[in-house]
Chains A and B, each alone.
Chain A
């Protein structure tokens, strides 16, 4: 259920993102979803890929600072208020979202939102209790 996301520290300089992506390409790792958090000096690139271990190894060998973070992927009903309903449930469970990003699943053409919580295990329980289904990790890696 928990999806392993690769987080990479990047300096805010031209060419850094391209360089990470070329490491992934060389290692034959395909990127499923991507988000970049940036500040004026640095950025944090978050990737969900098909081959997590190979991706991490390629980046570490390339000298990047990398960490693995557990996130949850939730399919959002494609209708007005779809995401609002999920966030409402999280709010009622007193769960704070550290960050989130969305992408569209190619196969189902449904919106998928990736959430990062402080405590993943508690979040899983809360989402289940609210009747929100969490996508299995394998499904996310092979979108």
Chain B
């Protein structure tokens, strides 16, 4: 454990600390960010109304759209001279969301990233290969600073150049790998093609995040890489990677609650839900200075696990593996479908490597869904009826699990675009008139 005092704090004490920090952050936001002041005034609430963490639901939500409206620096809570770094999320649907960090923010983030690495058992003895992209995206630099904070050796590979990743992984005795889960599989695939056996390497843990993945994908990764595959969560608006990380129990991600306070709300009615119920994840940053963040709606769907003390000793609540995004959710003929569910079905069918693409279209007034699945050697039979049986089996499983009838198309290997960053799993070709 990197910071046992913080990570094993008794719940009562933790709630008290969270309340104190919340009061400070609300005051800062109210005094220094006109956007927050206006929002709170519209809601009829002032910093004086916030006495403990229990008062959090009285505060208004903020959304990604609010962030964009304040582009570039409208959300900043400190003068420009106190900002030491700026990150921005990918602006695929408009302007990016901008995050400014003070030195204290960078230190706290590095601390949480170090805690994340320690969740997988990493110590100062380890070599951490950071294969998340370095740049405006928080993945690379976030894990890099975390590794250094831990005292481990950071290997700043960034994403891409897979052959070199594999060569250095082997030659430098890398023990910890940080990248997207799909890139971990890509590394294994390329290593196999290079004739390098990764299973003999001293790897022990992998911190995989920045895209949704599944339990079945974890099993697949652990079959091709000799490590414990752990889920890591983070987003640039909150900090970056290291907001939450799985411990070696591998059943939920510990949220570093002394810095990031999680809530789950019903995304339609906006009402808070009790622990254990599935809904949209909302974060309040309790220590952040650069961009104060209060009740930020992440659009990620998960639930809070509160099952008593974790065998690892950490006392914080855990979030379950992400189940999708409120905006990734496909509504196909009225049925809610998350790409992760499709992936789960595919991996359960023996031999199906999870390279797939979901194509949604509309013919007349009817939504159609096609799932392209790559035929690898493990799946291939030179008899038409066996391939047709495989296709029918996938169709049937999807129908059973998701309640949608999908056209299954078997495609040649490597025809679906591979990702270095986030996997593109869905093509929505529907145009609504």
Interface residues of A (CB under 8 A from B): 5, 7, 9-11, 16, 37, 39, 41-42, 44, 46, 63-67, 69, 98-99, 116
If over half of B's interface residues share one DSSP class (helix, strand or loop), that class is named, otherwise mixed; here it is loop
What's the minimum C-beta distance from A51 to chain B, rounded to whole angstroms? 19
Given contacts A39-B388, A65-B377, A67-B377, are A99 and B413 in contact (CB under 8 A)? no
Cα distance, A20 to B383, chains bound together (Å): 19
Select from chain B the residue with minimum beta-carbon distance to A38.
B384
- Interface-lining segment among B64-72, B130-138, B354-362, B404-412: B404-412
What's the minimum C-beta distance from B195 to chain A, rounded to whole angstroms? 13
**In the complex, B172 has a CB within 8 A of chain A:** no
Determine whether the beta carbon of A98 is less than 8 Å from that of B413. no
Note all chain B residues with C-beta closer than 8 A to A5: 382
What's the minimum C-beta distance from A121 to chain B, rounded to whole angstroms? 18
Given contacts A42-B387, A44-B387, are A64 and B412 in contact (CB under 8 A)? yes
Select from chain A the residue with minimum beta-carbon distance to B411.
A11
Note all chain A residues with C-beta closer than 8 A to B376: 65
Chain A to chain B contacts (Cβ below 8 Å), 22 pairs? A7-B380, A9-B375, A9-B387, A11-B410, A11-B412, A39-B384, A41-B410, A42-B387, A42-B410, A44-B383, A44-B384, A44-B387, A64-B413, A65-B377, A65-B380, A65-B413, A66-B377, A67-B377, A67-B381, A69-B382, A99-B383, A116-B382
Determine whether the beta carbon of B377 is less than 8 Å from that of A63. no
Select from chain B the residue with minimum beta-carbon distance to A42.
B410
What's the minimum C-beta distance from A13 to chain B, rounded to whole angstroms? 9
Q: Which of B375, B382, B412 contacts A46 (CB 8 A)?
A: B382
Determine whether the beta carbon of A65 is less than 8 Å from that of B409. no
Determine whether the beta carbon of B382 is less than 8 Å from that of A65. no
Cα distance, A5 to B388, chains bound together (Å): 21
Determine whether the beta carbon of A37 is less than 8 Å from that of B380. no
**In the complex, B81 has a CB within 8 A of chain A:** no
**In the complex, B219 has a CB within 8 A of chain A:** no
Determine whether the beta carbon of B412 is less than 8 Å from that of A9. yes
What's the minimum C-beta distance from B377 to chain A, rounded to whole angstroms? 6
What's the minimum C-beta distance from A78 to chain B, rounded to whole angstroms? 29
What's the minimum C-beta distance from B250 to chain A, rounded to whole angstroms? 33
Note all chain A residues with C-beta closer than 8 A to B413: 63-65
Cα distance, A23 to B384, chains bound together (Å): 23
Determine whether the beta carbon of B415 is less than 8 Å from that of A9. no
Cα distance, A65 to B409, chains bound together (Å): 15
Cα distance, A69 to B383, chains bound together (Å): 10
Note all chain A residues with C-beta closer than 8 A to B409: 41
If over half of A's interface residues share one DSSP class (helix, strand or loop), that class is named, otherwise mixed; here it is strand
Note all chain B residues with C-beta closer than 8 A to A67: 377, 380-382
Note all chain A residues with C-beta closer than 8 A to B382: 5, 7, 44, 46, 67, 69, 116
**Interface digits, B229-262 against A, CB 8 Å rule (1 contact, 0 not)?**
0000000000000000000000000000000000
Select from chain B the residue with minimum beta-carbon distance to A61.
B193
Select from chain B the residue with minimum beta-carbon distance to A71.
B382
Note all chain B residues with C-beta closer than 8 A to A37: 384
Cα distance, A37 to B387, chains bound together (Å): 12
Instruction: Give the residue among B376, B377, B379 with the most A Cβ atoms within 10 A.
Output: B377
What's the minimum C-beta distance from A56 to chain B, rounded to whole angstroms? 11
Cα distance, A39 to B376, chains bound together (Å): 18
Cα distance, A69 to B384, chains bound together (Å): 14
What's the minimum C-beta distance from A35 to chain B, rounded to whole angstroms? 10
**In the complex, B414 has a CB within 8 A of chain A:** yes
What's the minimum C-beta distance from A58 to chain B, rounded to whole angstroms? 15
Cα distance, A13 to B189, chains bound together (Å): 26
Given A41-B409, A64-B412, A65-B375, 8 further pairs, Cβ under 8 A: A9-B410, A39-B384, A39-B388, A63-B412, A65-B377, A66-B380, A67-B382, A99-B383
Instruction: Give the residue among A41, A66, A98 with the most B Cβ atoms within 10 A.
Output: A41
Note all chain B residues with C-beta closer than 8 A to A99: 383
Cα distance, A69 to B386, chains bound together (Å): 14
Determine whether the beta carbon of B384 is less than 8 Å from that of A9. no
Note all chain A residues with C-beta closer than 8 A to B381: 67
Note all chain B residues with C-beta closer than 8 A to A66: 377, 380
What's the minimum C-beta distance from A33 to chain B, rounded to whole angstroms? 14
Q: Which of A7, A11, A41 contacts B415 (CB 8 A)?
A: A11
Determine whether the beta carbon of A9 is less than 8 Å from that of B380. yes
What's the minimum C-beta distance from A75 to chain B, rounded to whole angstroms? 23
Cα distance, A7 to B409, chains bound together (Å): 19
Cα distance, A44 to B412, chains bound together (Å): 11
Q: Which B378-400 residues have a C-beta within 8 angstroms of A?
A: 379-384, 387-388
What's the minimum C-beta distance from A107 to chain B, rounded to whole angstroms? 27
Select from chain B the residue with minimum beta-carbon distance to A40.
B409
